[in-house]
Amino acid sequence: MIYDYILLFLIYSVIGWTMEVVVSLVYRHRFINRGFLIGPCCPIYGFGGLFITIFLTRYKDDMLVFFVMTMFICTILEYFTSYIMEKLFKARWWDYSQKKFHINGRVCIDAMFGFAAVGGAVIYILNPFLTIWLGNTPYIVKQVTSIVLMLVFIIDVIVSLVVMSNLKHVKYKNKDNTEEITKKTKEALREKNFFTKRLVDAFPDFEVLKKKTKEKIDQTKKEIKKKQKEIKKMRKKIKISERELKKISKRDK
């Protein structure tokens, strides 16, 4: 059962990310990575889908109770996720300040109804299909898939935390900082190999460190050349001195 929950969490995280990207494409006409993570995953949707599945499936026959409780649970989840992330990283991934009936810009009435609709899709459409699919999947396949994907997810979380820790000093212009965060984390090498690009995307300070290292190497090379020239000059002087000594010795003889 635990592997079913892990897979549901990851599936709903990816679905949530896809929804956010599509909305951005429709309203802003450009791709924006709306998630906190570098990969195509929004954990808040994963947790939301998981909470609805675990705690609210029993209420699916009473639609009114189900929708009200979905709105309540998801609103609390969204509010505290926004609050914690802002305190940790000094940034916001969404802001509802321009909308009516909002609470500190973290949640709003429109989003609450959106949660109800998404919750309904989870319980009445997606979960029945996914339950059958997971039930027909061999245990070992679910186990291996869950472990591998969870390891990838954990690595993504760690890398994303490193990225955001490096961006704490950045002052953002807008209240919704998602687009700015995406831009900042991807300002790096554009004409390098895939591995280098991903490394720079993950570690924004990598290019700065690389530049400083190159400058130190170049400076060291210059110093070595300078020393070599000085040594050559010294050798010439020594040769001249030796000649003079020989001349003096001949005279004395």
159 and 188 share one domain: yes
Position 199 scores a pLDDT of: 44
Question: Is residue 65 very low, low, confident or very high in pLDDT (cuts 50, 70, 90)?
Answer: very high
Q: Is the per-residue pLDDT at 170 higher than 60?
A: no
128 and 45 share one domain: yes
6 and 114 share one domain: yes
Lowest average pLDDT, out of 39-43, 109-113, 131-135, 198-202, goes to 198-202
As a whole number, mean pLDDT of residues 42-68 equals 93
111 and 34 share one domain: yes
How far is residue 165's CA from residue 156's CA, in Å, rounded to a whole number?
A: 14
Whether the CB-CB separation of 53 and 47 falls below 8 Å is answered with no
Position 56 scores a pLDDT of: 93
Question: Is residue 29 very low, low, confident or very high in pLDDT (cuts 50, 70, 90)?
Answer: confident
Position 205 scores a pLDDT of: 45
Lowest average pLDDT, out of 133-147, 166-180, 194-208, 225-239, goes to 194-208
Domain that includes residue 223, residue range: 205-253
Number of domains in the chain: 2
180 and 57 share one domain: yes
List Cβ neighbours of 186 (8 Å cut-off, separation of 6 or more).
Answer: 201
What's the whole-model pTM score?
0.66
124 and 249 share one domain: no
As a whole number, mean pLDDT of residues 115-137 equals 93
Position 134 scores a pLDDT of: 92
Q: Which residue has the higher pLDDT, 143 or 163?
A: 143
30 and 115 share one domain: yes
Position 183 scores a pLDDT of: 54
18 and 143 share one domain: yes
30 and 121 share one domain: yes
Position 38 scores a pLDDT of: 79
59 and 181 share one domain: yes
Question: Is residue 97 very low, low, confident or very high in pLDDT (cuts 50, 70, 90)?
Answer: confident
Question: Is residue 201 very low, low, confident or very high in pLDDT (cuts 50, 70, 90)?
Answer: very low
Q: Which residue has the higher pLDDT, 25 or 120?
A: 120
Q: How many helices (H) and strands (E) does the chain have?
A: 9, 2
107 and 43 share one domain: yes
Instruction: Report the Cα 90 to chain-centroid distance in Å.
Output: 15
154 and 252 share one domain: no
Q: Show which of 203, 221, 242 is a domain's final residue.
A: 203
As a whole number, mean pLDDT of residues 120-148 equals 93
Instruction: Dig out the tokens for 9 from the structure.
Output: 């969490």
- Would you call 4 exposed, middle or buried from its count of C-beta atoms within 10 A (0-12, 13-18, 19+)? middle
| Backbone phi and psi for residue 32, each to the nearest 5 degrees, phi listed first | -135, 125
